[in-house]
């Protein structure tokens, strides 16, 4: 039982390049989330998927797209990376209404855009 896994762990991009961050969970959770974390700031929600087949914008969606590939996988795509997207990206999953209603987080992807 690996929980939430993310790939890659580290990535350096040049401005204008594209990439996809991968996330998978093995806890059979319906909801999945993408956050970014910048120094001294709380986690900010980029996109979320309440259930397979649905996605919705969060607080900071500009410059990103997502795909809920199936119940296990939720990917985040940067079509044309910008230095402002330098951040640590966390994926999380959750099963609402099950006792402790926490999100389970992956280890993060550290992205630098030059």
Site string for another protein, 41-80 (x = CB under 8 A): xxxxx--x---------xx---------------------
CA dihedral defined by 84, 86, 91, 97, rounded to 10 degrees? -40
Judged by CB under 8 A, the stretch of 22-30, 62-70, 79-87, 106-114 that binds another protein is 106-114
Question: If binding is defined by CB under 8 A, does position 100 make contact with another protein?
Answer: yes
CA distances from residue 88 to 83, 95, 99, 107, 111 in whole angstroms, order as listed: 13, 24, 29, 10, 6
**111 has which bridge partners?**
11, 87
**25 has which bridge partners?**
4
Total residues at interface with another protein (CB under 8 A):
24
Contact residues: another protein, CB under 8 A: 4, 33, 35, 39-45, 48, 58-59, 90, 92, 100-108
């Amino acid at each position: 039982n690996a929980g939430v896994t993310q790939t890659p762990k580290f990535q350096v991009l040049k401005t204008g390049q594209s990439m996809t961050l991968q996330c998978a969970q093995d806890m059979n959770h319906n909801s999945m989330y993408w956050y970014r974390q910048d120094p001294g700031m709380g986690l900010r929600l980029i996109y979320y998927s309440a259930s397979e087949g649905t996605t919705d914008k969060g607080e900071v969606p500009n410059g990103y797209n997502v795909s809920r590939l199936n119940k296990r996988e939720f990917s985040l795509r940067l079509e044309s990376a910008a230095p402002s997207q330098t951040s640590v990206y966390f994926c999380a999953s959750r099963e609402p209404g099950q006792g402790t209603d926490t999100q389970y987080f992956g280890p993060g992807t550290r992205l630098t855009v030059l």
